[in-house]
Amino acid sequence: MASVNPIRYVGAIPVLIDSETATWNMSPDALRKAFVQAATKGKLPKAVIVVHLYGVVAKIGEIRHICREFGVPLIEDAAESLGSTWHGQMTGTIGDIGFYSFNGNKIITTSGGGMLMMPNEETKQLALKLATQAREDAPHYEHDQVGYNYRLSNVSAGIGRGQLEVIEQRVQARRRVFARYERMFRQLGTTYQREVPYSRANRWLTAMQLDQTELHRDTLMQRLATAGIESRPVWKPMHLQPVYRDAEYVTVDGEDVSRRLFKNGICLPSGSDLTLVEQQQVIQTVLDTRSIVAEQSV
Ligand SMILES: *Cc1c(COP(=O)(O)O)cnc(C)c1O
């Protein structure tokens, strides 16, 4: 929701773009289709917001290329992908503007808040002004427009600076968690978000698809819950959310990829501090569920 709601805050109308099956992020083909449709109507969007879901880098090269072709700025929602890179460059700095979240559930946290990545001094000053109640540089607090109170406190920023030092260790820990799941479930037929060439995901959360296994998502979630293990479905796509039911949604050839990814997708415990023993319990529960399902189907 946090990616889409700001569009409404400023009175704009979101157009939702379907996912592709490799990274599960914005489909460049669907984006191009949306642009062509918009250009025909003579009304291009003010910006494109791309998310790097669960820290897996989107097809950002293609997406940036399409945006430049149509002259539309690209905003990177790197809230989940701090530490992920593309050609060695941090996500959040590849588009025209980027942002990170330091919410409690993210790879590093300041308990709340986030950070903007700005392309130049002018844009940075504008953002700082808007985040500070649009205060002008005058001793009596002069205001010529409506601003916000959207700043990170100095205390939070201090925590954040400390946390930044451990980001690489966190990324390595999450990648190890991901690699173990992938290795242990190989025989089940589970599939995962793929890394595009020259990208490195922080694997903030391990999410997997069950459509090529004998496992049903809700059954598996139930078994995990019984074993005291928290899991979640893959984020519900925005076009299926009641609040954005009426939003325009662009897919390629009428195929609803994001709905399919949601239906069969599950997020597993992936914390940087997940111990080997804890992860082994998750793995064993999944394997046991698979055995029970297989027996029942005989
Ligand atoms: C967490 C998150 C945000 C921002 O969350 P805040 O709680 O506002 O910091 C934005 N987009 C995505 C994809 C997120 O996961």
Q: What is the pLDDT along the chain (298 residues), one digit of tens a residue?
A: 999 999 999 999 999 999 999 999 999 999 999 999 999 999 999 999 999 999 999 999 999 999 999 999 999 999 999 999 999 999 999 999 999 999 999 999 999 999 999 999 999 999 999 999 999 988 899 999 999 999 899 999 999 999 999 999 999 999 999 999 999 999 999 999 999 999 999 999 999 999 999 999 999 999 999 999 999 999 999 999 999 999 999 999 889 999 999 999 999 999 999 999 999 999 999 999 998 888 887 6
Q: Which two tokens stand for residue 135?
A: 């205060």
Give me the sign of the Cα torsion angle 98, 67, 198, 17: positive
CA of 283 to the centre of ligand 1 (A): 28
Closest ligand 1 atom, residue 105 Cα: 1
In whole angstroms, give the CA distance from residue 79 to residue 186. 29
**Neighbouring-strand partners of residue 13:** none
Instruction: State the pLDDT at residue 165.
Output: 96
Contact indicator for 156, 113 with CB cutoff of 8 Å: yes
Total-model pTM: 0.95
**Neighbouring-strand partners of residue 233:** 266
DSSP 60: H
In whole angstroms, give the CA distance from residue 65 to residue 74. 10
The set of protein residues with a Cβ atom below 6 angstroms from ligand 1 is 2-3, 51, 77, 79-80, 101, 103, 114
CA-to-CA dists, residue 218 to 157, 181, 235, 242, angstroms: 40, 19, 14, 21
Q: Which residue's alpha carbon is at the smallest distance from atom 14 of ligand 1?
A: 79
In whole angstroms, give the CA distance from residue 273 to residue 68. 40
Instruction: State the pLDDT at residue 134.
Output: 93
Q: Which two tokens stand for residue 178?
A: 């991901």
CA of 284 to the centre of ligand 1 (A): 31
CA-to-CA dists, residue 24 to 51, 171, 204, 208, angstroms: 10, 20, 14, 11
Q: Which residue's alpha carbon is at the smallest distance from atom 12 of ligand 1?
A: 79
In whole angstroms, give the CA distance from residue 116 to residue 76. 10
DSSP-derived pairing of the beta strands 97-101 and 74-77: parallel
For a mutational test of ligand 1's pocket, the pick from 5, 77, 116, i.e. the residue with the most ligand atoms closer than 8 A to its C-beta, is: 77
CA of 221 to the centre of ligand 1 (A): 24
Instruction: State the pLDDT at residue 189.
Output: 96
Instruction: State the pLDDT at residue 263.
Output: 96
In whole angstroms, give the CA distance from residue 149 to residue 130. 8
CA of 38 to the centre of ligand 1 (A): 27
Alpha-carbon torsion, ordered 171, 174, 175, 181, to 10 deg? 180
CA of 2 to the centre of ligand 1 (A): 5
DSSP 71: T
> How many Cβ atoms sit within 10 Å of the Cβ of residue 275?
9
Closest ligand 1 atom, residue 3 Cα: 11
Question: Phi/psi at 259 (nearest 5 deg)?
Answer: -65, -40
For 1, counting Cβ atoms within 10 Å of its Cβ (0-12 exposed, 13-18 middle, 19+ buried), the class is: exposed
CA of 64 to the centre of ligand 1 (A): 21
In Å, how far from its chain's centre is CA 274?
A: 21
